[in-house]
Amino acid sequence: MYVQWKQLHRDGMRRVQEDAVSLFEQTRQFRVYCSNVMPGMVQQRGYARDLMTVITEFQGTPNDVSDAVESRLARGRYLREGSRTFALVLEEAVLRYPFGESAEMRDQLCYLLDVMALPRVSLGVIPFGTKRKMWPLEAFYMFDDRLVEAELLSALVAISTPGEIATYAKAFKILAGMAVYGPAAKALIREAIDALG
């Protein structure tokens, strides 16, 4: 299903954030790839506010950013609750694209270091200069093996066809294999923090 963001956000962004709760509750294995922004589930208040403000202004949709941020932050609890697993893969560029003031970006990057310590979270970073075995893609979220949501500039694409889900699973496996984890990923995050001054 292809739904334009302007349609999804016609009442603002809060409702979309709240509608995602049931999907999060039903999912046991999350696989997330982001090439452009932090995954919503790990965003901190300042980062989420500034990102959602930019999106609202670009789309020209109603501004309910404060409420939408609170709804998005509430979903972060799933990282700590239950037995869900999270495999997150970020391009290094995500660490370097600043949203908001330096202090907010620093807070966001420091939070990533905290997230990496959680027992059911795997967070990998694909470093600049890595020999590509897969090109950078649009951000996508895999919910078990039953749904993929791909985020395009103009729309959210919900994919439920098994063959297409398998294609995203294959791409995720390749992208995850290009990433570094543990101390190497932490070093890239710390470098991004240091670059903020």
Q: Whose structure tokens read 């999270």?
A: 86
User: Mean pLDDT in the chain?
Assistant: 96
Q: Which whole-number Å values give the CA distances from 159 to 135, 137, 156, 169, 188, in the listed order?
A: 20, 15, 10, 12, 32
What pTM does this model have? 0.96
User: What's the pLDDT band for 100 if we cut at 50, 70, 90?
Assistant: confident
CA atoms of 16 and 40, how far apart (whole Å)? 12
Res 14 pLDDT > 90: yes
- CATH superfamily of this structure's domain 2-195: Endonuclease Chain A (3.30.870.10)
Which tokens sit at 62? 């109603």
CA atoms of 55 and 153, how far apart (whole Å)? 10
Paired strand residues for 4: 155
- Predicted local distance difference test score (pLDDT) of residue 4: 93
Q: What is the pLDDT of residues 34-93, one digit of tens each?
A: 999 999 999 999 999 999 999 999 999 999 999 999 999 999 999 999 999 999 999 999
Average pLDDT over residues 157-181: 98
Q: Which stretches of 12-137 are assigned E, i.e. beta strand? A: 29-34, 85-91, 121-126
In this prediction, what percent of the chain has a pLDDT beyond 70? 100
Task: Report domain extents, the chain.
Answer: 2-195
CA atoms of 114 and 123, how far apart (whole Å)? 11
CA atoms of 35 and 77, how far apart (whole Å)? 23
Q: How many CB atoms lie within 10 A of CB 7?
A: 10
- Predicted local distance difference test score (pLDDT) of residue 132: 97
